[in-house]
Structure 1
Amino acid sequence: MAEITPRRQGELVRGVFKILMEHQDGLPAREVLKKLETIVPPTPFELSEYPNRPGVRRYEKIVRFSTIPAVKAGWLIKERGKWLLSDQGREACRRYQDPEEFARQAIRLYREWRRSEAQDTESEETARSTLEEAEETAWREIQEYLMNLAPMDFQNLVAALLRGMGYHVSWVAPPGPDGGTDIIAFSDPLGIKRPRIRVQVKRKQDKVSAEGLRSFMAILGDDDVGLFISAGGFTREAEMEARAQQKRHVTLLDLERLFVLWVEHYAQIPEEGRRLLPLKAVYYLAPRD
């Protein structure tokens, strides 16, 4: 990366931070990179392709390499293809206005973090970038797959996950009106032990609002706990509403949390259920953390 100066690294990463400052919940990495190109245009060198990788521009790779110190400094968080700023990252963006100073501060914190270990070699940095892109691509494909599942298949996937987690699913709503409950489950086979688990499943891309959450909570009985699964996630107001409940316990799961649980309990999920979201492990060289 000898062609990229600290100032240029700072310009690129500060551009990333400026974009994320306007999106508190973060953005998919590919959206960030697309937006970045309009506010920090690539140089001719960055527009060029790698000699041994036709069709692969240097620009996106350079941005990813340049963000590594910010990640290790605790300023930038990368989770399953989504980039978001920590509170420290937001403060750093406001404090260090000069791109070169911004880059040097991130590198300083990175070196402090790595002080007791050998510095990353170029091959390790390449491995880190390759793994990052692979994770982003895999998660994007999984998201698209889940969002395109038929509603009943998505509902049955949730029921399969509950079975894999050790719960006993007593009822899954058939197609048609369900009165707000899609799945009923218990912690014991006979359904004697309380509480009863009422589940509502939404596969729509829209976020569930606080009003939508209240409609679900209204059907919960005294011996019920609620599980609300929304592929589109929840508004901030809905999340606050769920946390504020004292009498009605409701757990919210977005698509990412649902997938994390699916991976965690995959081995215990019945084979028929696993067919709804089949997974296969692929191994990459892991960079040192």
Structure 2
Amino acid sequence: MADVTRRRTGELLRELFAILLAHPEGLAARTALLSLEQNVTLTDYETGEYDSGGRRFEKIVRFATVDCVKAGWLVKNKGIWLVTEEGRDAYENLRDSETFYRRAVKLYQEWKATQPDSEPNTPEEPEDNSSGKAASITLEEAEEQAWDEIAQYLHQMNPYDFQSLVADLLRAMGYYVDWEAPPGKDGGLDILAWPDPLGTKPPRIKVQVKRQISAVTVEGVRSFLAVLGDEDVGLFVALGGFTRDAVETARNQERRRLTLIDIRKLHELWVTYYKNLSDEARRRMPLRPVYFLSPEG
């Protein structure tokens, strides 16, 4: 990283933050990096590759984002990067690029000093703790690749297989699935489930499942709310997620109870209840955990 000044790193970071702030719900890391590359003029050094492999431009930016995460300015979750309120404040108040990055590095060092077995930097040790950051980036990229494959797998799944996957998850969570919609028009309802096998205990659970890539709008949420009774609980599972207005509409319901589940929440639940799934259910989306040594806790 010696060929990249702090000012230049700060310039790249601030441009990245500008891109992410335009997407308050977060942006895929690879999309954000591609947009950044298109918005700046890369130097000859940045367009090259390291001897160990990997483009310098991407590594430079990813190294710098580690500081931002530990500073509390940036959140990374399953390949999605999101600027926090603290990050927005830093972007607006620290307009000088070098000052912006130096502040992130300082906050990273303060965080690092609080970690178990932390040791002070020596003159020979780079301030940015390159070895620890390199390990973090390797893990980050592996997680992104794994998540990309899982998301692609789900989006390509047959719609009725995906519906069955959701039903399998409900069974693993201890619910009793009473009905799954057959092929054809479903009238806005895909799955019916109960807390007990006889259907005598409330609430009745009504589920709608959408495999579409685009986010469900507020109109889609309102349509599903219309099929819910006062004693029902609604689950809306949508791989493409939900628009902000749709989320607000579901959250502000006073009479109807509705939970929205996007692809990330679905994956989280699938992992949590994986041990309870039947062998047939696991084959719908088989997962295998891979453990890495975490360098930074």
Shorter-chain TM-score bucket reads: over 0.9
Match of 2:92 among 79, 91, 94: 94
Give the partner amino acid of 1:26: G
- Following superposition, the deviation at residue 71 of structure 1 comes to 0.8
- On the 8 A contact 1:7/1:103 being kept in 2, the answer is yes
Could you tell me which of 155, 175, 189 is aligned with 1:167?
175
Give the 5 Å matches for 1:52-63. 52-53=52-53, 56-63=54-61
The CA deviation at 1:121 is: 4.1
Is the aligned partner of 1:105 residue 2:113?
no
Between 234-243 and 119-128, the greater mean CA deviation after superposition:
119-128
Whole-Å separation in 1 of the counterparts to 2:253 and 2:146: 36
Structure 1 residue ranges without an equivalent (≥5)? none
Letter in 2 for 1:22: A
2:136 is aligned to 128
* 1:276 and 2:274 matched: no
How far apart are 1:187 and its partner, in Å?
0.7
Task: State the one-letter code of the partner of 2:57.
Answer: Y
Q: Does 1:72 align with 2:70?
A: yes
Aligned to 2:34: 34
In structure 1, give the amino acid aligned to 2:79.
G
Tell me by how many angstroms 1:141 deviates.
1.0
CA-based RMSD of the aligned residues comes to: 1.3
Q: Deviations over 1:22-63 (max 9, x none)?
A: 11111100011101112223221121122233xx21111111
Query: Is residue 253 of structure 1 aligned with residue 261 of structure 2?
Result: yes
Give TM-score scaled by structure 1 length.
0.96
Measured against aligned partners, the alpha-carbon deviations of 1:3-25 in whole angstroms (never above 9, x if no partner) come to 22211211111111011111111
Aligned residue among 185, 190, 207 for 2:193: 185
**Deviates most, 99-108 or 44-53:** 44-53
User: Unpaired runs of 5+ in structure 2?
Assistant: 122-127
Q: Give the distance between the partners of 2:285 and 2:244, measured in 1 at CA.
A: 28
| 1:201 alignment partner, SS class | strand
- When normalised by structure 2's length, the TM-score is 0.93
Deviation larger for 44-53 or 260-269 = 44-53
Shift of 1:240: 0.8
C-alpha separation between the residues in 2 aligned to 1:223 and 1:26? 35
Alpha-carbon shift at residue 91 of structure 1 (Å): 1.1
Q: What is the one-letter code of the residue matched to 1:51?
A: D
Task: Provide the C-alpha distance between the structure 2 equivalents of 1:30 and 1:70, rounded to a whole number of angstroms.
Answer: 17
- Alpha-carbon distance between aligned partners in 2 of 1:45 and 1:188, rounded to the nearest angstrom: 64
Secondary structure, aligned partner of 2:208: strand
Report % sequence identity. Answer: 53
Which amino acid counterpart does residue 76 of structure 2 have in structure 1?
K
3-state SS, counterpart of residue 236 of structure 2: strand
Residue-by-residue CA offset, 1:74-100 (whole Å, 9 max, x unaligned): 001111101010011111111111110
Aligned to 2:221: 213
Deviations 1:110-156 (A, max 9, x none): 12222233367433211100000011111111111101101001100
Instruction: Give 2:159's aligned residue.
Output: 151
Query: For 2:230 and 2:95, how far apart are their aligned partners in 1?
Result: 55
Range with greater deviation from structure 2 (4-13 or 23-32): 4-13
TM superposition shift of 1:288: 1.5
CA distance in structure 1 between the partners assigned to 2:181 and 2:231 by the alignment: 20
